[in-house]
A and B are shown apart, each in its own frame.
Chain A
């Protein structure tokens, strides 16, 4: 009887202080074996300080269809970006105030 088993997404931390990064998935019957297989697959050659496995169906994700509405604003958001506050002209004016 052959089965694919469930998939678990794998998150890998390469060194302390770094975030866990999604590196792929493994097939396994349960979380414990998923962690062992994830070690073979993703920590065999890459430095690793921590591994997480999460059943694939436990991850909630945005769809491509909603991406544009959710992530690409139609309005100018420069009010909250550094580039939205140009300094050169106003510095000149303030520094030359008494001259």
Chain B
């Protein structure tokens, strides 16, 4: 066997047909799981069970798609920002999201999926992305609410993912969390400014909260009892905390801040249980979640149509780059 290897570039050498049963596989699996239990990271050239690889490809590519599609609700508002500073901040935020998408596509590639395949999956509608971006940013206040609550929820999730077992994904999460902290801050500043403004501005903020509260809670995914792969994801440290735990953390951190502003959260069951010292809150409408994630949300078709148009419009750039790399001698 070769003593050295070339760093894997776009397509690491993989045996997708490697048997996933039998004593040899079980021995490798045990060593792999022991490594994860010790808190060690798995790197691209390490052996991993096919299921780990596939779960991560699905999760990381969906995350990447979410960043790219996530540029759209806010991107549309850049020309309409009411002040130059807000326009600059929003442009910077959207630029960051595009960059995050790039980082995440690259992390997924280290697992053996090609960029072309991932883009094709997104544009064909086969791949999913975070449901939250299928909702419209109806008013300027929605942009602030997204910047505050949606980014806050993303940070709660991403801080957890930064502790995950796959090295390239964990590293990408740390970098992304650092940039997200600016997004959160500008969103919070935005909402607090409007909440301290005119009666019309406060009403606009309240209406935006009414629209975004439940979709944000749904960002953490289905309830634990309906999460099919949870046990394995936790054992393999693909997730290190459950959907319901993260959802709870988000409510416990942000409900008090929202209520302090004098706003009303659209959940009649939301209250702090003094005896148990825990927040109580209602169950999201999982029927709506399933409807939107399966393509029937308010903007699913439009989001994909915009991405397809952008992909087509950018074809000449990709062709020019490919021509540049073609040998000329």
Instruction: Judge whether A29 and B324 touch: CB under 8 Å.
Output: yes
Q: How far is the CA of A4 from the CA of B2 in the complex (A)?
A: 28
Instruction: Judge whether B9 and A7 touch: CB under 8 Å.
Output: yes
Q: How far is the CA of A56 from the CA of B175 in the complex (A)?
A: 22
B residues in contact with A61, CB < 8 Å: 4-7, 45
- Chain B interface extent, by class: 20 to 34
A residues in contact with B4, CB < 8 Å: 60-63
B residues in contact with A45, CB < 8 Å: 96, 99, 178-179
Q: In angstroms, how far is the closest chain A Cβ from the Cβ of B38?
A: 14
Q: With A29-B321, A41-B103 given, is the CB distance from A4 to B115 under 8 Å? A: yes
Instruction: Judge whether A65 and B114 touch: CB under 8 Å.
Output: no
Q: Which of B4, B9, B10, B99 has the most CB of A within 10 A?
A: B9
Q: Does B95 contact A (CB under 8 A)?
A: yes
Q: In angstroms, how far is the closest chain A Cβ from the Cβ of B50?
A: 17
Instruction: Judge whether B325 and A29 touch: CB under 8 Å.
Output: yes
Q: In angstroms, how far is the closest chain B Cβ from the Cβ of A51?
A: 15
Instruction: Judge whether A63 and B7 touch: CB under 8 Å.
Output: no
Instruction: Judge whether B6 and A63 touch: CB under 8 Å.
Output: no
Q: In angstroms, how far is the closest chain A Cβ from the Cβ of B145?
A: 24
Q: With A5-B321, A63-B45, A65-B1 given, is the CB distance from A40 to B7 under 8 Å? A: no
Q: In angstroms, how far is the closest chain B Cβ from the Cβ of A47?
A: 12
Chain A: interface residue total (CB-CB under 8 A): 32
Q: What is the number of contacts between chain A and chain B, taking CB atoms within 8 Å? A: 87
Among candidates A24, A30, A60, A64, residue contacting B45 with C-beta atoms closer than 8 Å: A64
Instruction: Judge whether A63 and B2 touch: CB under 8 Å.
Output: yes
Among candidates B46, B99, B319, residue contacting A44 with C-beta atoms closer than 8 Å: B99
Q: How far is the CA of A63 from the CA of B315 in the complex (A)?
A: 38
Q: Does A18 contact B (CB under 8 A)?
A: no
Instruction: Judge whether A57 and B9 touch: CB under 8 Å.
Output: yes
Q: How far is the CA of A27 from the CA of B2 in the complex (A)?
A: 27
Among candidates A27, A56, A65, residue contacting B7 with C-beta atoms closer than 8 Å: A56
- Chain A interface, >50% SS class: mixed
B residues in contact with A1, CB < 8 Å: 318-319, 322
Give A37's nearest chain B residue, CB to CB: B102
Instruction: Judge whether A33 and B321 touch: CB under 8 Å.
Output: yes
Q: With A40-B99, A41-B99 given, is the CB distance from A30 to B3 under 8 Å? A: no
Instruction: Judge whether A56 and B325 touch: CB under 8 Å.
Output: no
Q: Which residue numbers of A lie inside 8 Å of B, CB to CB?
A: 1-7, 9, 23-30, 33, 40-41, 44-45, 55-57, 59-66
Given A25-B106, A29-B324; 13 other pairs, CB 8 A cutoff: A3-B116, A7-B9, A24-B106, A24-B172, A25-B9, A26-B102, A41-B102, A44-B99, A45-B96, A60-B4, A62-B5, A63-B4, A63-B45
Q: Which residue numbers of B lie inside 8 Å of A, CB to CB?
A: 1-10, 43, 45-47, 95-96, 99, 102-103, 106, 114-116, 172, 175, 178-179, 315, 318-319, 321-322, 324-325
> 13 A-B Cβ contacts within 8 A?
A2-B315, A2-B318, A7-B10, A24-B172, A25-B9, A29-B324, A44-B96, A55-B9, A56-B8, A57-B7, A61-B6, A63-B3, A63-B5
